[in-house]
Structure 1
């Protein structure tokens, strides 16, 4: 008898062990990306071809029971995770507005997106038992080539439509949540620190998603990040993500949304006056850097003092002087989980019914409350 090549023999052994009937290909894709693995790396570890992993994720083939066990061990999840249960909606990478697009490896962005998809699934699970704020954001149309005035007008319109009065926005993250946006903070452990805040308005669940950076331990920066992502959600649905033009528009939107020209222009100094800048920082809840830039952009601070101010800010480094306190954090998921527990609905029972590891459920809920989320991918 002719000896079979090792790969052919291995494939026949896998077929003889039986394939898994209730396999959910989406869950494999989510689990692989959360573990920050490429298909080729996963294939090597579970002893199949990269093409086989691709077929598993596309639903064109199902793994055998032996391969399923290897998948669970390799990705650090129980085998039940790959069974059909709670749907995990997809967030297409092309719709996610990453500021760190060019400085972050693609698989690290995919890992963050997978966490966002899991968070949307957990939100859907919680919403079956708790009434959450409905989605109430309405897109703001822009001309094909919007000017700075068009962007500023969009920010002023957003303040009106979101019922923000004059003066500082009290809490930007809570404002997003009150209008139906899912806001979570990426866990600090297991994720690339170069992944900055990002958003997507085109999720399969229909709910906009904003993921905040875990490393910006500063109220001013978290507020600006949230306002920046709000600009994307309102102005850039259907627009190609990642361009410098799109990012610049979101920055201009955030500046006007947080520091309206009509209210702040006359208060900005015309020279490098740090005492005044610090007072404005405390009042408006924005950074010195943002205020210096705003003063220059609105024609209050001339070029020479603007450059001098930036040299001083660079010398101070980060965090800059005059911290405002901890960053703004989301609260909806955490509050909803507390309501469930108080009503006698155990999170463990929900996790089991949804076929999501309890540790995973806790990690997502922690990312949606003020406590710092902690997550070790391999320990699920």
Structure 2
């Protein structure tokens, strides 16, 4: 029997309205509605079009999908911390929500065969809440600075740089993927209802230093804004949350004491090129460092203006020095889990695809891992008859 819910979920995952899907399938919008609500089953030729469009097997639509056995409210729309003009775009929000739902269900499926290290980020979140509840008299800015310092120490980041930030975040318990999320969204984050944190990064080409700031910003949301109903915030309240995450990221990546000491050693504090060594050390953009220096009153308003005039004059707004030479960190946690499962023969790619009734492209989209990774294991799964399988009768 055709399962209409499976079609609805995968349609939303692909950010398609019923009318848009109808156009791609060369059918009516009413027909799509009938399929999804169980009034009519599509003909084989329509199912074949769906299969090609959504990168799944035909049988995908005749069984419950990944989400059926996952808690329906485990991923909540109000928990998604967006940083974009698309915060009020219903279709985009629903699509991203559905992606994380599929990702969460997928991780649950492969994760039941893995023993993870302790969820350190959850421990940190609990410590943060205890600190906030016990220090309600403190100014919010001071609270955020102290939480950033607490986070840096808890995650065991080096005291002198920000190397391997993405690795430390994944190790702490956060699942991070990169995917196409549009031109106006940098990243977003959320906690699942069973306390699994997610960060989704845009895959539009970015420098390593800008990605670091995105990661720190989202970490700020995860720690400062637990249980916040982001979809209920007005523009002013939303901006306050964004400013708090920005302040957290600045303190987290450029700790006041160490950063102040570095900036005061610069020969010419208003010259962007003077910050190059600090960029290599802290892995933060020249512009973010200048803004941080200004907020800490390390440079005057006039020096700050001169700095930005120089940034514009030298074309650094679009590409700064070292942007192309500092390596970009890529999420590796989900890839490593799959690699372990495949290499240890705990499950094969073929088995996984057969269980889920999906193609390699579907797995690549859900996990944010390039297709080449899966294709390697697809070749290993493929076995052909050879002469070694024959024996001569005596």
TM-score, normalization by structure 1: 0.79
Instruction: Count the aligned residue pairs.
Output: 343
- 1:289 corresponds in structure 2 to 287
Q: Structure 1 pair 123/155, CA: closer, same or farther in 2 (3 Å)?
A: same
- 2:378 corresponds in structure 1 to none
Does residue 58 of structure 2 align to residue 79 of structure 1?
yes
Q: Structure 1 pair 290/341, CA: closer, same or farther in 2 (3 Å)?
A: same
Q: CA deviation at 1:224?
A: 0.9
SS in 2 for 1:217: coil
Q: Structure 1 pair 290/107, CA: closer, same or farther in 2 (3 Å)?
A: same
- 1:12 corresponds in structure 2 to none
Stretch deviating more after TM superposition (246-255 or 91-100): 91-100
Aligned runs of 1:327-338 on 2, under 5 Å? Answer: 327-338=328-339
Q: How far apart, in 1, do the equivalents of 2:319 and 2:251 lie?
A: 23
Q: CA deviation at 1:287?
A: 0.7
Q: How far apart, in 2, do the equivalents of 1:370 and 1:279 lie?
A: 36
Q: How far apart, in 1, do the equivalents of 2:319 and 2:276 lie?
A: 14
Q: Is the 8 A contact 2:13 2:96 kept in 1?
A: yes
Q: How far apart, in 2, do the equivalents of 1:199 and 1:62 lie?
A: 37
Q: CA deviation at 1:370?
A: 12
Q: Is the 8 A contact 1:332 1:368 kept in 2?
A: no
- 1:375 corresponds in structure 2 to none
SS in 1 for 2:120: coil
- 2:30 corresponds in structure 1 to 49
Q: Structure 1 pair 312/133, CA: closer, same or farther in 2 (3 Å)?
A: farther
Aligned runs of 1:29-44 on 2, under 5 Å? Answer: 29-42=8-21
- 2:379 corresponds in structure 1 to none
SS in 2 for 1:199: strand
SS in 1 for 2:67: coil
1:119 to 103, 113, 118: 103
Residues 26-50 of structure 1: per-residue CA shift (max 9 Å, x gap): x434311232212343356543539
Does residue 313 of structure 2 align to residue 321 of structure 1?
no
Q: Structure 1 pair 329/74, CA: closer, same or farther in 2 (3 Å)?
A: closer
- 1:346 corresponds in structure 2 to 348
SS in 2 for 1:367: coil
Q: How far apart, in 2, do the equivalents of 1:370 and 1:303 lie?
A: 50
Q: Structure 1 pair 200/126, CA: closer, same or farther in 2 (3 Å)?
A: same
SS in 2 for 1:196: strand
Q: How far apart, in 2, do the equivalents of 1:370 and 1:327 lie?
A: 19
> Gaps spanning 5+ residues in structure 2: where?
374-394
Stretch deviating more after TM superposition (102-111 or 267-276): 102-111
Q: Is the 8 A contact 1:185 1:368 kept in 2?
A: no
- 2:392 corresponds in structure 1 to none
Q: How far apart, in 2, do the equivalents of 1:163 and 1:86 lie?
A: 36
Q: Structure 1 pair 272/312, CA: closer, same or farther in 2 (3 Å)?
A: same
2:272 to 274, 286, 300: 274
SS in 2 for 1:316: coil
SS in 2 for 1:326: coil
Aligned runs of 1:163-242 on 2, under 5 Å? Answer: 163-187=156-180, 191-201=181-191, 203-204=192-193, 206-241=195-230
Q: How far apart, in 2, do the equivalents of 1:368 and 1:153 lie?
A: 38
Q: Is the 8 A contact 1:103 1:194 kept in 2?
A: no
Q: How far apart, in 1, do the equivalents of 2:197 and 2:114 lie?
A: 18
- 2:310 corresponds in structure 1 to 312
- 1:15 corresponds in structure 2 to none
Stretch deviating more after TM superposition (139-148 or 32-41): 139-148
Q: Is the 8 A contact 1:93 1:113 kept in 2?
A: yes
- 1:108 corresponds in structure 2 to 92
Q: Structure 1 pair 236/37, CA: closer, same or farther in 2 (3 Å)?
A: same
TM-score, normalization by structure 2: 0.76
Q: CA deviation at 1:197?
A: 0.8
Stretch deviating more after TM superposition (97-106 or 291-300): 97-106
Q: As a proportion of its length, which structure holds more helix?
A: 2
- 1:302 corresponds in structure 2 to 300
Stretch deviating more after TM superposition (246-255 or 362-371): 362-371
Stretch deviating more after TM superposition (266-275 or 210-219): 266-275
